[in-house]
Structure 1
Amino acid sequence: MSILQLKKASLIGLTENKMHTLDKLQKLGLMHIIPLQELSSQRIEEDEEVNPELLKRSLQYLLSCPNKRRQVTQEKQFNLKKVISAVEKNHSERLSLLEERDFLEKRIKDLEPWGDFVLPDLNDLNQQRFWFYLVPNFKMKEVEALSLPWTVVHQGNRNSYLVVVSPEEPAANLLPVARTHTGYIPISQLREKLEEAEIALEATEAEREALTRWTYLLQRSIASTADASLLSEVANQSLDFDEVFALQGWLAERDLDQLQMFAEQQGLVLLTEDPEDEELPPTYMDNSERVGGGQEVVSFFQTPGYRSWDPSRVVFFSFVSFFAIIMSDAGYSLILGGIIAYYWKAMSRTETHRRLRAMGAALAGAGFIWGVMVGGYFGASAPLPFLGSLKVLDVNDFDTMMTLSICIGAAHLILGNLMMAWVRRKSTQALSSVGWALAVFVALLGWIFGFSNLYWGVFAAGLVMVLLFSGEKTNVSLATLVAGLLALTNLTKIFGDVLSYLRLFALGLASASLALTFNQLAADVGAALPGIGLLLQVLILIIGHLLNFVLTVVSGVIHGLRLNLIEFYNWSLADEGYPFQPFAKQEVIPWTT
């Protein structure tokens, strides 16, 4: 299994060298710290001139810029305070200009039907004023009875733009609508202001783009701030005895030599011991990048306990298989593979991205192989005779596909129960998991080949094992029998869980049927409408298959994970742990634009 064995390591050193030692230990990044005392209010003094929240906000602002400059990696010309001030000023100016531009665009759009006009002086109109109203056309009959002078300056399909002349604002009941506020600035001046705002906004965007050259150094500043905070926290969790201090943590056995060498170099005393039975160490899962995508899925949902087993590899291969069966189309798999290939380089920046990239490649590869086996090519037949000869299954063969789905589900749950039995190997409860695995296996054989007395006998033996060994106590007692009876109520649950794997066949059939439906619909439209029908046929094919592709991928991810993280987990994992978090410095990956 890939859950690493841990040791409890204790380091003892001189208090005067404590911070230096901890800084070196943080660079080493091997230990999961065990607090020896509660955190105190002591902290490393932070630079009061730089607000950490402002620093994060500035970095996020630069990261959201679509175009970035070449990164500066040397700190010779870097002034953190000045850069943050410039970024904050640029951010504020950009927001103001965006608000001004949006306001001007809306104001111009509202004023265009009224035309470009300048309100005359009141003396020129004998103290008369213009009042503007936007009146729906069906209400214009109500305006005709108005005794005040009025005119329509523009009329659209829905509204009339009405100007009323009056020394005072007309009473609200004289017109069917409320007055429209147009302002006193003519539309020509608004357009000039809009042009000025757009020019200023372009200059601000150019300045923002120029500031992105400091992104890497800002990331390092944030990382150093977080590292200092973590260092301070760990320093407060150590135990001090006058001139010496003690620090304790969990360490992978494979890293013990490195820590021993570190202790010798730093003049520290190193003590190691195995975890006690009542202790619960963190779970340190270690998987290669090729199958590490399963670990990312497992860690996201539930971290297994330290003394449990790592389901990452099983989840990886089963999820890939389930996704391929649900997709059931080699053409869609090629599209998925093309998407993965397009983002291949971009997904190489971190270990997590590389693991998910490998999983994506496996999904596309497995989907293509399964698609060839079932003869799915965008809902059509194989484009080449050679590919057609490789078809060995038919998604429309209900009996075969249902049998295959049930067998996959039964095998998955049998494996889960056997792994649970291995975890409980030191307890008689392991026989309960073996009983479930035996019952499912025999029930599957009986369903396929027909039940005989032998099958019924073995099936009953499995259930008897569940009845007798589900309790924590080894002796047969009333409590043991009650625990066993309660466990037997899961018989319907495991039956339902096995049937739940029928969704593999159902979703695969739905994907293939929908692809075939779009093909038939496109062909019917093309035949019914000569000429323009060809264009409609192409549009139906593109839009239809794109929609089906998205639905298939979503279904494959959701239901593929569901079968692993719900049905499978229920029978294979009992204890939940917490992840191993090394005391280490943050890694900063520079931009290479």
Structure 2
Amino acid sequence: MSILQLKKATLIGLAESKPQILDALQSLGSLHIIPLAQQKKRPQPLLVDINSEQLSTVLGYLLGCSHKRRQVLSERHFDLVDVVRTTEKNRAERLQLLERREFLKKRIKDLKPWGSFGFPEHGELFDQRLWFYLVPNYRMNEVAKITLPWSIVHRDNRHSYVAVIAPDEPQVSLMPVQRTHTGAVPLDALVVELEDIEIAIETAEAERQALTRWIYALQLSEAGIGDQDALKKVNEQTLDRGEVFAIQGWVATQEIARLEAFAQKQSLVLQLSDPETDETPPTLLSNPAELAGGEEVVSFFQTPGYKGWDPSRVVFFSFVGFFALIMSDAGYSLMLALILMFYWRQMSLTQTGRRLRAMGVALSVAGFVWGVMVGSYFGASPPFAWLASFKVMDLHDFESMMKLSICIGAGHLILGNLMMAWVKRHTNQAYASLGWASAVVVGLSGWLQGIHSLHWVGFAAALLLVVVYSGQSKAWSLKRFLEGLLALTNVTKMFGDILSYLRLFALGLASASLAITFNQLAVDVATALPAIGLLFKVLILITGHLLNFVLTVVSGVIHGLRLNLIEFYNWSLADEGYAFQRFSKQEVTPWIT
């Protein structure tokens, strides 16, 4: 198990030293605080004129800049208020400029067919005015019937650009379409303004790039505000009684020694106790760095209960295996590895990034190994003769691949039920989970070897365990029997969940077939067009395989997670918990570009 055991820790100290003790406790970062008093709702700004929402917006704006400057690690020249105000001003101005540019581009595009013109002053045309209409060519016969003077300024294959002279706007019924509003600014002036806007946008973008040098300093400020906010929140959750105060929280047994040393150094009274039977401590997962990517997946979907088990490692290996089976191509796995190498440094900046990076390495390696085993390299045969000897599976051998997928699904759900039985080992319901696992084993054996009478006996005995031990009531009763019969209806669910693993074979075959199709299409085009066909062949190969690669990765992620987090979770996890939240200071990793 990788769910750490927790103890309830109570610290008691002098009220006069409370601010210093809480700050030191936050630096220690070992406790999940248990509120002893209700927090008061008194939102107060922590920094003058700057709040966390502003900092978050400013940081998001600067992080979105494609080209970032070298970070300033020293805070000697950093003025938080000035940087935030300058960035907010730059962001607002740049947004206005971008909106104006889009408007000008559209207006210029609409005015180009009319040409560049300026409206005459009032009275120059004897009180006559120009009115413009964009008329479909097939309706020009209706324009020819009007009595007002008009002229076609421009014509394309769809529309005629008609200018009408009249003192007042013609009635709607007179013209076949609504009037086109061209605006009073000439086309030449709009083009000049667009050029000025482009220059202004470049200037704003240069200023934005210059401001990116303060990203690390802003992140430190944001972390500082977050730390102060957390400190203020915990300060209101302590129990204050005259000259002393008490703070309580959960601590992992592995960190008790650090907490005892801290209490001795701060002259605090420390009391440790085990969780009560009716208490639900938070869940603190602990996994090796190489396998912690599974922990990220598990925490994202559902945190297991404290008294349950940690499926992180099972999810890690099963997801990696499922992804490899769906990808089923060594070439695509190498592409995934190249993408991972491109983002390698960027992913090292955060703990989550490092964990997912390790999982990405596992996905690439497993996908490559399986791709070699099925002999698929961008949908083609092995490029070297010695690689062909490693091909041991054929994706087009439907019977073998279906058996493999169903065996994987059955094994996955058997493991899930065995883990459920282990979690419920102190209750009779553990036998129900063993019954389900036994039913799957017997059913799979009968399917692979042929059903005999012993299989029916074993299957019936397994389901009898389900009926007898699925009820929550300890004493034998009609209610317990009915609960067992109700649980028995999950037979069809178990059958459907196992068959759901056929998607591993189906998606892998679809990916390989699509790659082969693109290869054949490229060869056919090159053969049909001897000269330019080579160019089309390259374009088809690049476009087709990129599209197939994206579809394969998306399918691998979605369906690989689905089989773990839906089918597997349904049979392996009983209770949902809540995550262990450390009372600690935020860490910011500096990065240089």
Match of 1:489 in 2: 489
More deviation in 525-534 or 426-435? 525-534
- 548-557 or 43-52, which deviates more: 43-52
Partner of 2:196: 196
The secondary structure found in structure 2 opposite 1:36 is coil
Q: What residue number does 1:521 align with? A: 521
1:298-317 matched pairs, under 5 angstroms:
298-317=298-317
TM-superposed deviation, 1:90: 1.5
2:319 is the alignment partner of 1:319:
yes
- 8 Å CA contact 1:42, 1:236 repeated in 2: no
Aligned to 2:589: 589
Moved more, 566-575 or 493-502: 493-502
Deviation readout 1:225-263 (Å, 9 max, x if unpaired): 111111111111110001111000000000001111111
Alignment partner, residue 441 of structure 1: 441
How far did 1:277 drift?
A: 1.6
Instruction: Tell me, in whole angstroms, the C-alpha distance in 2 between the residues paired with 1:328 and 1:573.
Output: 30
1:180 aligned counterpart, secondary structure: coil
C-alpha offsets along residues 353-406 of structure 1, whole Å, 9 cap, x if unaligned? 111111111111111111111112222221112111111111222222222222
Q: Secondary structure of 2:324's partner?
A: helix
Q: SS at the partner of 2:344?
A: coil
Change (3 A) 1:157 1:399: closer
How far is 1:312 from its partner? 0.5
Shift in alpha-carbon separation, 1:521–1:127, aligned structure 2, 3 A: closer
Q: Deviations over 1:162-210 (max 9, x none)?
A: 2333333333333323333333332222222222222222222211211
* Contact 1:69/1:212 (8 A) holds in 2: yes
**CA-CA distance at 1:454 after TM superposition:** 3.5
Check the 8 A contact 1:44/1:228 in 2, yes or no: no
Cα gap change, 1:175 to 1:398, in 2 (>3 Å): closer
Partner of 1:25: helix, strand, or coil? helix
Provide the C-alpha distance between the structure 1 equivalents of 2:581 and 2:211, rounded to a whole number of angstroms.
34
Match in the other structure for 1:228: 228
Residues 403 and 131 of structure 1: CA distance in aligned 2, closer, same or farther (over 3 Å): closer
Q: Distance in 2 between matches of 1:504 and 1:394?
A: 14
What is the deviation of 1:42?
Answer: 4.7
Which residue of structure 1 aligns with residue 114 of structure 2? 114
Partner residue in 1 for 2:348:
348
| Cα distance in 2 between the residues matched to 1:232 and 1:196 | 50
Could you tell me which residue of structure 1 aligns to residue 458 of structure 2?
A: 458
Structure 1 length as normaliser, TM-score?
Answer: 0.96
Q: Separation in 2 of the partners of 1:332 and 1:115?
A: 52
Which amino acid in the other structure matches residue 20 of structure 1? Q
Greater CA deviation, 149-158 or 251-260? Answer: 149-158
Is the deviation greater in 416-425 or in 190-199?
190-199
**How far does residue 43 in structure 1 lie from its aligned partner after superposition?**
5.8
Preserved CA contact (<8 Å) 1:429 1:471: yes
Q: Structure 1 counterpart of 2:158, which letter?
A: R
Choose 200-209 or 229-238, whichever is displaced more.
200-209
Aligned pair count reads 593
For residues 168 and 147 of structure 2, the distance between their equivalents in structure 1, rounded to whole angstroms, comes to 14
Q: Aligned residue for 1:563?
A: 563
Alpha-carbon offset, residue 508 of structure 1:
1.7
Residue of structure 1 in register with 2:239 after alignment: 239
Do the aligned residues in 1 keep the contact of 2:471 with 2:483 (CA within 8 Å)? Answer: yes
8 Å contact from structure 1 (residues 307, 423) kept in 2: yes
Map 1:464-543 to 2 at 5 A.
464-543=464-543
Distance 1:34 1:395, change over 3 A: same
Pair 1:31–1:338, CA change in 2 (3 A): same
Gaps of 5+ in 2: none
* 1:353-368 to 2 correspondences below 5 Å: 353-368=353-368
Please give the alpha-carbon distance, in whole angstroms, between the structure 1 residues aligned to 2:511 and 2:183. Answer: 58
Residues 321-361 of structure 1 show CA distances to partners (whole Å, capped at 9, x for unaligned) of: 11111111112111112211222122111111111111111
**CA positional deviation for 1:123:** 4.4
Tell me which amino acid in the other structure corresponds to 2:503: R
Tell me the distance in 2 between the aligned counterparts of 1:554 and 1:30: 38
CA distance in 2, matches of 1:496, 1:154: 66
Paired letter, 2:40? S
Residue 70 of structure 1 and its aligned partner are, at CA, apart by 1.6
Q: What is residue 271 of structure 1 aligned with on the other side?
A: 271
User: Hey, what's the Cα distance between the residues in 1 that align with 2:319 and 2:206?
Assistant: 46
Distance 1:47 1:524, change over 3 A: closer
For residues 35-78 of structure 1, what are the alpha-carbon distances to aligned partners after superposition, in whole Å with 9 as ceiling and x for unaligned?
11211235666234224322322222222222222222222222
Counterpart of 2:291 in structure 1 is 291
Question: Within 5 Å, which residues of 2 pair with 1:68-147?
Answer: 68-147=68-147
Mapped contact 1:293–1:355 kept (Cα < 8 A) = yes
Is 1:262 matched up with 2:262?
yes
Alpha-carbon distance between aligned partners in 1 of 2:214 and 2:583, rounded to the nearest angstrom: 27
Question: What's 2:5 paired with?
Answer: 5
Q: Give the letter for the 1:90 counterpart.
A: N
Range with greater deviation from structure 2 (455-464 or 429-438): 455-464
Aligned residues of 1:3 and 1:284 also touching (Cα < 8 A): yes
What residue is the counterpart of 2:161 in the other structure? 161
With over 3 angstroms needed to count, the CA separation of the structure-2 counterparts of 1:112 and 1:263, relative to structure 1, is same
The one-letter code matched in structure 2 to 1:141 is: N
Cα 1:402–1:128 shift into 2, 3 Å: closer
Listed as ranges, the matches of 1:178-189 within 5 Å are: 178-189=178-189
Q: Deviations over 1:275-311 (max 9, x none)?
A: 1121110000011221111111111111110011100
Q: Is the 8 A contact 2:349 2:589 kept in 1?
A: yes
Kindly state the Cα deviation for residue 127 of structure 1 after the two structures are TM-superposed: 3.2
2:553 corresponds to which letter in structure 1? V
Are the counterparts in 1 of residues 26 and 585 from structure 2 also a CA contact under 8 Å? Answer: yes
Taking structure 2 as the reference length, the TM-score comes to 0.96
Asked if 2 retains the 8 angstrom alpha-carbon contact of 1:44 and 1:232, the reply is no
Closer/same/farther in 2, CA of residues 490 and 27 from structure 1, 3 Å limit: same
Give the letter for the 1:285 counterpart.
L
Separation of aligned partners in 2, 1:184 and 1:88:
33
What amino acid is aligned across from residue 400 of structure 2 in structure 1? Answer: T
The verdict on how the C-alpha distance between 1:158 and 1:244 changes in structure 2, with shifts beyond 3 A counting, is same
Q: Say if 1:40 and 1:236, in contact at 8 Å, map to a contact too.
A: yes
Cα RMSD, aligned residues only: 1.9
Give the direction of change, closer, same or farther, for the CA distance of 1:478–1:151 in structure 2 (3 Å limit): closer
Amino acid at match of 1:25: L
1:108/1:527 CA distance change after superposition, 3 Å: closer
How many angstroms does 1:30 deviate by?
0.8
The residue identity in structure 2 corresponding to 1:167 is P
- Corresponding residue number in structure 2 for 1:369: 369
Q: Is the 8 A contact 2:7 2:253 kept in 1?
A: yes
Q: Structure 1 CA distance, aligned partners of 2:131 and 2:486?
A: 81
- 1:19 paired with 2:22, answer no
The structural deviation recorded for 1:548 is 2.0
Higher deviation after alignment, 269-278 or 433-442: 433-442
Q: Distance in 2 between matches of 1:160 and 1:399?
A: 64
2: CA distance, partners of 1:427 / 1:570: 19
8 Å CA contact retained: 2:349, 2:591: no
Give 1:9-48 correspondences, 5 Å limit: 9-42=9-42, 46-48=46-48
Gap regions ≥5 residues in structure 1: none
Q: Secondary structure at 2:146's aligned position in 1? A: coil
CA distance in 2 between counterparts of 1:526 and 1:150 reads 54
Which moved further from structure 2: 537-546 or 569-578? 537-546
**CA distance in structure 2 between the partners assigned to 1:469 and 1:481 by the alignment:** 9
Task: State how far apart, in whole Å, the 2-side matches of 1:452 and 1:173 are.
Answer: 86
Q: Equivalent pairs: percent with the same residue?
A: 62
